[in-house]
Amino acid sequence: MAGDTVDSSNGSENGNGNGNGTISSWAQWQRLVLSEMKQNKADNAANSKDIKDLQIAMAVMAVKIAVIAFISSALAVALIEWLVKRVQ
């Protein structure tokens, strides 16, 4: 837990981790570390999904921009051609 200190000589934790302040055995320490690793794995999975969603949104936006640029370029060319014909 954040703010807790660990005594590496006997594997005990001092701080405010679980209410009583100590983890007295190596097995308890392993369970704590394993639970933190599982939580991190779940957080990473959620972050991966968010990243994929953002990548999809960016790809959609890029396609929209390309279509708008194509249409506006075609309109600009058509307008210029019309103006040139009108002036002549």
How many Cα neighbours within 13 Å face the side chain of 65? 6
- Average pLDDT on 41-51 reads 94
Domain count, the chain: 1
Q: Which of 18 and 73 is assigned the larger pLDDT?
A: 73
Its domain, for residue 51, covers 5-87
pLDDT tens-place string over residues 48-88: 999 999 999 999 999 999 999 999 999 999 999 999 999 88
Which pLDDT does position 11 carry in this prediction? 46
Quick one: tokens of 88?
């002549």
